[in-house]
């Protein structure tokens, strides 16, 4: 199945994300507070757009089951994955609402969000957008699993609950997204399947860039802002 190929082919990329600065900073509990806050500012906006993408896709499917899934996801997302975000806000000891005020789509987040919107806007088959959205829960579940397998976190480790959340709470989302992709492949030509694959692999790289964006506190360089 395509989903099994996607998981296998992107595992080295997720391994690279795990060893990059942001996740290693969470594992060792020594990440810069500003990097965590940069991540939260970007991620709060990212999750809002993810919810809006589901709203767009709902109108493109005849499956009541898929609509129910998307409605459930929107509720979950509009709460901003509050549990995971609350762990990070607690770790930097700042009120969450204060942290995420004045966030913006920093360059790497902007590119990721627009990659998903491009597929949602230009394709009738929801599988194109879902293939660009599926790395979101899958990459985080793998990162959570890797962290829990490879480390023994003390009960009071500031980021243990972040890893636990993603290791345990993403199964339904991952399974439904991959089933949509695998079902779509049954009626697609090879060239169309290649687009699904490319969308998925690119979004896995967008996940890596998103974490690096936070680790480097990436911003627009300001050129042309005032034209
Ligand atoms: C950028 C990004 N990808 C995936 C997740 C997991 O939902 C998240 N919160 N943010």
**Structural domains of the chain, ranges and CATH numbers in brackets:** 2-216 (1.20.910.10)
- Per-residue confidence (pLDDT) for residue 102, from 0 to 100: 87
Please write down the HEC assignment for all residues of 58-124: HCCCCCHHHHHHHHHHHHHHHCCCHHHHHHHHHHCCCCHHHHHCCCCCCHHHHHHHHHHHHHHHHCC
- Looking at residue 78, what is its pLDDT? 78
Inform me whether the pLDDT recorded for 224 exceeds 70. no
Asked whether residue 226 carries a pLDDT value surpassing 80, the answer given is no
pLDDT of 76 reads: 85
Tens digits of residue pLDDT in 85-143: 999 999 999 999 999 998 999 999 999 999 999 999 999 999 999 999 999 999 999 99
Ligand 1 touching residue 140 (CB < 6 A): yes
pLDDT tens, residue by residue, 51-100: 999 999 999 999 999 999 999 999 888 775 688 999 999 999 999 999 99
When pLDDT is averaged across residues 180-197 and rounded to a whole number, the result is: 98
Number of neighbouring beta carbons within 10 Å of residue 60: 13
CA of 227 relative to ligand 1 center, distance in Å: 33
Active site positions, annotated: 136, 207
Q: Which DSSP symbol is given to 182?
A: H
Q: Model's pTM, two decimal places?
A: 0.96
Ligand 1 atom closest to the Cα of residue 136 is: 4
Name 143's Cβ contacts closer than 8 Å, sequence gap at least 6. Answer: 14, 17, 18, 23, 163, 166
Q: Is the pLDDT of residue 225 over 60?
A: no
The interface predicted TM-score (ipTM) is 0.98
CA–CA gap between residue 16 and residue 23 (Å, rounded): 10
Predicted confidence at residue 179, as pLDDT, reads 97
**Ligand 1 within 6 A of CB of 207:** yes
What pLDDT shows up at residue 54?
97
């Amino acid at each position: 199945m395509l989903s099994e190929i996607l998981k296998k082919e992107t595992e080295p990329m997720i391994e690279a994300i795990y060893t990059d600065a942001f996740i290693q900073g969470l594992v060792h509990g020594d990440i810069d507070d500003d990097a965590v806050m940069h991540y939260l500012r970007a991620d709060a906006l990212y999750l809002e757009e993810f919810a809006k993408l589901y709203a767009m896709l709902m109108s493109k499917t005849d499956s009541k089951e898929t609509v129910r899934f998307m409605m459930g996801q929107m509720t979950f997302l509009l709460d901003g994955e509050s549990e995971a975000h609350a762990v990070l806000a607690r770790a930097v000891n700042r009120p969450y609402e204060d942290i995420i005020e004045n966030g913006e789509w920093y360059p790497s987040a902007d590119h990721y969000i627009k990659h998903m919107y491009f597929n949602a806007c230009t394709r009738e088959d929801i599988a194109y957008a879902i293939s660009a959205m599926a790395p979101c829960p899958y990459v985080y579940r793998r990162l959570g699993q890797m962290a829990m397998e490879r480390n023994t976190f003390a009960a009071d480790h500031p980021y243990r609950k972040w890893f636990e959340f993603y290791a345990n709470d993403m199964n339904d989302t991952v399974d439904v997204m991959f089933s949509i992709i695998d079902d779509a492949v049954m009626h697609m030509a090879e060239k169309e399947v290649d687009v699904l694959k490319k969308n998925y692999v690119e979004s896995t790289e967008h996940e890596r860039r998103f974490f690096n964006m936070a680790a480097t506190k990436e911003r627009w360089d300001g050129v042309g802002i005032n034209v």
